[in-house]
Chains A and B, each alone.
Chain A
Amino acid sequence: MTTDSTAHPTHAPTGGEPPAAAPELTARTLRATFGFGNIGAIWVLLLQIVLFSVWLPDVFPTAATAKQILNSNAGIALAALALVVPLTARVFDLSFAYTMSLSGVTVAYLMVHTGMGLPAAIGIALLAALLVGVINAIVVVVLGVESLIGTLGTGSIIQALITFVTKDISITDDRLTGSFTSIGQTDVGGIVLPVFYAVLAAAATWYVLEHTATGRRLYAAGFNADAARLAGVRVERLRFLSLIASSLIAGFAGIVLASNLGSGSPTAGTPYLLPAFAAVFLGATQFKHGRFNAWGTLTAVLMLGTGLTGLALGSAPPWASNMFTGVVLIAALASSGVQRRTRLRGRRAP
């Protein structure tokens, strides 16, 4: 599991040698790029495809299964992508799942009970999500509550409000068919629109994190807030904005989810809470050596989704899916933890 450490020599020459030239394309760098330590999830994904294809030759290796895996995981992908930016700045947003429920319920409620048009309802639902983001940011950044606890609190309050308005009953109505369901159910060649939304959201997240100064500062704030602050990074402001970003993406994901379901369910978002976190953390072990990143997150969603779909198709016992997720998550993070310790050795030097 230490293959990736070869990309970063732990003992750089410090004698009189001039700085070395850029690393050449050698067997070592190839191994670092394509090795298990860097793209382990892709290897596991390929292994799963082989295993399930041997085990279930009739049902698994088909275009229908592939499309089903993509379509059924788009929601989790969007939810997980909402978490990438705040986690990069080391802020946990547990309220995102409740924000998803909130925006879905809001659209459904407005359309059914007030007869509002779709665009206006969506606009108001996104405003509600934005409001949640601002409240989260005030609780976490201004009041200084630990983000894990603070957003657990705001999430709880959101759920209370949803239950108060809906009496815990899903909002269903004929008015929710048609244009509303087309947001999440329209398919292009068998692949539904949410898959494309997820890819677009991933691309946008990737661009911000990799190609803007803001992205670099987000990583700096997350890795070492004190050092970042002294280097002139406005850490608090970034954390504030990252919570707003996660709520907006979660709000959008909630609308897509409600459209997919064709109803406003008061608990639609909660099942996404843990799988989304699992995917983001698993994604951080991919491609970027421990940094939260968009494409790693998508890969992790796909890998976990493929495993779960395969197990379901093979009529695995009901405990198998949770067991699979748990084992993969711990194995991935433990092995990358080993790598990080190997790579950061020497940190204790004075």
Chain B
Amino acid sequence: MADQPVSSGISVLRLRSLSKTFPGTRALSDVSLDVHQGEVHALMGQNGSGKSTLIKILAGYYHADHGAQAWLDDAPVALGVVAASRHDRLRFVHQDLGLILELSAMDNLALLGGFARRPGRIDWAQQRRTTEAMLSRFGADIDVRRPLTEATPVQRTIVAIAAALAGWEGGRGVLVLDEPTAVLPHTEVERLLQIVRELRRSGSSVLYVSHRLDEIFQIADRVTVLRDGSVAATTEVAGLTRNSLAELMVGSAVNADYRAGSRTGGDGEVVLRGRGLRARYLAGVDVELRAGEVLGIAGLPGSGMEELPHLLAGEAPDGPAAGEVQLPGSSAAWWSVGDTRRPRLPIVPADRGREGVIAEFTVAENLSLSVLGKLGCRGRLLKAAERELVDTWTRRVQIKAASTGAVVTSLSGGNQQKVVLARCLAAQAGVLVLSEPTAGVDIGTREAIYDLIAEQAAAGLAVVVSSTDAGDLVAMCHRVLVLGRGTVVAQLEGNDISERAMMSVLGTGEH
């Protein structure tokens, strides 16, 4: 289906037979993609669908599996080579923008495009004029000599786009925008879309990665939907409705009827309360969690859904934060969220590589880390007790490893996640916090995790789970709080929890 061009446009970028296999998971499987000249081509898909892997291969960060082919204007391009990312016809604005915020717009642009020079030194006056000319095209009104930390998010995005387009005179090429609106306030999204339209008018093509349905209908000509690493469809946006696009994204990858455990839970005691929780994005959220309940947190990036689990788990916040948390199971005291003395709750963090596993440790060492205190006798670590604990949890969570003495990074992403999960469960705190529990996890492991959580909840464990993957929440939760602009905008319960319901709250662009 992907091979058939839907419009008669001329392809600027063509990809064929693109696959990518990581140890244990197949992130992309036989993907084909055509981006026509002068079109905005949307690339959509849920988390884990392979969007970011595809972009990273285009950018030269990953090698593609053998057999992949790519052409730019009929000239073959080597994939997975960093040099290709500097290709004249293929430019990138990554989600984190790739800017050095401590430097000014002028310095950031010059780092990529080179400085204007006079013999022996930089011609600052000329440099400033060049920078202002580059930015004025996009109507950015900023002092190019001030550090970007002082600029607004949309101004930074504009600088990043200008930097990506530096020296791109012909305009016949593809600009890849990876989730450009993820951190933009709603009011500034329209400005960004204007810029994208302006690029299209000038004859450039844009590969626009996003998971906001509304934007796609506003801006894209065609859309390619990825699902579980394969192309679910490439089609004209005009022929789609919100529902049919959502359908394409969700598909039947995770059985839509899959429900782990019962739909009701939580007649138990309250084990966790939060009130007036505020942080960078959170603007006052109250939470109550009962024993045996699985509570979901839904929301787009920037809604506060990434912050809430960390605040509840007791991690000292980076920036200013306010609010109080109570753990009625241990004491009636209300702890301020910044109080380092409050008891911590085990958390499975979203960024497994950076905050979850300790890459140098073995499976066993990773697993036992949070319960070492219980494995000893007067400070001595009893290796036999550790082995028993590790064996028990390896079996219970079904970790597949050559041996528990193997380095944890030798495992697949899904099994690494199970190790982190086992570590948290082994702590037996009565409450468990999960942040993006299925990010980078294959389907089989995903359902295993759902089942495990359901089983633990039935045994009385209280769980908070935040996920950008609506499928997670549908499969696991008894109740879901949908966050938008830092507050709870909807609460779904029992059978009302569906991807459709969440998408219609999330995708309206009100956040």
Contacts and interface: CB of A to CB of B under 8 A. Distances in A.
Interface of A: 8-15, 17, 19-23, 211-217, 219-220, 223-224, 226-233, 290-291, 343-344, 346-350
| Chain A, interface SS category | loop
B410 interface: yes
B344 A232 contact: yes
A350 B357 CA distance: 13
Listed residue (A216, A217, A230, A291) with the most chain B CB atoms within 10 angstroms of its CB: A230
B438 to A, nearest CB: 11
Contacts of A344: 359-360, 407, 409
Interface string B403-424: 1111101111111000000010
Contacts of B360: 219, 223-224, 290-291, 344
A14 B400 contact: yes
A62 to B, nearest CB: 42
Contacts, number: 142
Contact of B25 (A22, A233, A343, A349): A349
B315 A213 contact: no
A350 B358 contact: no
Given A13-B402, A344-B360, 9 more contacts: A8-B407, A9-B406, A20-B403, A227-B355, A230-B349, A231-B346, A344-B359, A344-B407, A346-B410
Interface size for chain B: under 10, 10 to 19, 20 to 34, or 35 or more residues? Answer: 35 or more
Contact of B355 (A15, A226, A348): A226
Interface of B: 22-25, 27, 48, 52-53, 62, 313, 315, 344, 346-347, 349, 353-361, 365, 368-370, 372-373, 375-376, 379-381, 394, 399-407, 409-415, 423, 427, 439-440
B27 A9 contact: no
A236 to B, nearest CB: 9
Q: Which of A11, A214, A346 has the most CB of B within 10 A?
A: A346
B406 A12 contact: yes
6 contacts: A12-B402, A12-B411, A223-B361, A224-B355, A227-B354, A348-B62
B157 to A, nearest CB: 25
B354 A226 contact: yes
B96 to A, nearest CB: 16
Contact of A19 (B315, B376, B379, B403): B403
B339 to A, nearest CB: 15
A13 B359 contact: no
Contact of B372 (A13, A213, A224, A349): A213
Contact of B379 (A15, A214, A291): A214
A349 B24 contact: yes
Contacts of A215: 381
A343 B411 CA distance: 12
Contacts of B22: 346, 348-350
Nearest to A215: B381
Nearest to A222: B360
B212 to A, nearest CB: 22
B410 A220 contact: no
B312 to A, nearest CB: 13
Closest 7 pairs (CB-CB, A-B): A350-B440, A213-B372, A14-B24, A349-B22, A14-B412, A12-B402, A231-B370
Contact of B403 (A17, A23, A211, A214): A23
A152 B114 CA distance: 37
A167 B45 CA distance: 73
Contact of A14 (B52, B359, B375, B415): B415
Nearest to A350: B440
B407 A343 contact: yes
B400 A12 contact: yes
Contacts of A211: 380-381
A189 B403 CA distance: 47
A12 B400 CA distance: 8
Contacts of A214: 379
Contacts of B62: 348
Contact of A220 (B27, B349, B356, B361): B361
B388 to A, nearest CB: 15
B361 A22 contact: no
A10 B405 CA distance: 12
A346 B23 CA distance: 7
A223 B52 CA distance: 27
Nearest to A10: B410
Nearest to B362: A8
Given A223-B360, A232-B427, A233-B369, A213 B375 contact: yes
Contact of B357 (A17, A216, A227, A229): A227
Nearest to A346: B23
A349 B379 contact: no
Contacts of A233: 369-370
A271 B403 CA distance: 45
B352 to A, nearest CB: 9
A349 B349 contact: no
B381 A232 contact: no
Contacts of A14: 23-24, 400, 411-412, 414-415
Nearest to B423: A231
Contacts of B410: 8-12, 346
B402 to A, nearest CB: 4
Nearest to B355: A226
B402 A213 contact: no
B53 A350 contact: yes
Most chain B CB within a 10 A radius of its CB, from A212, A229, A350: A350
B412 A220 contact: no
A116 to B, nearest CB: 35
A3 B358 CA distance: 23
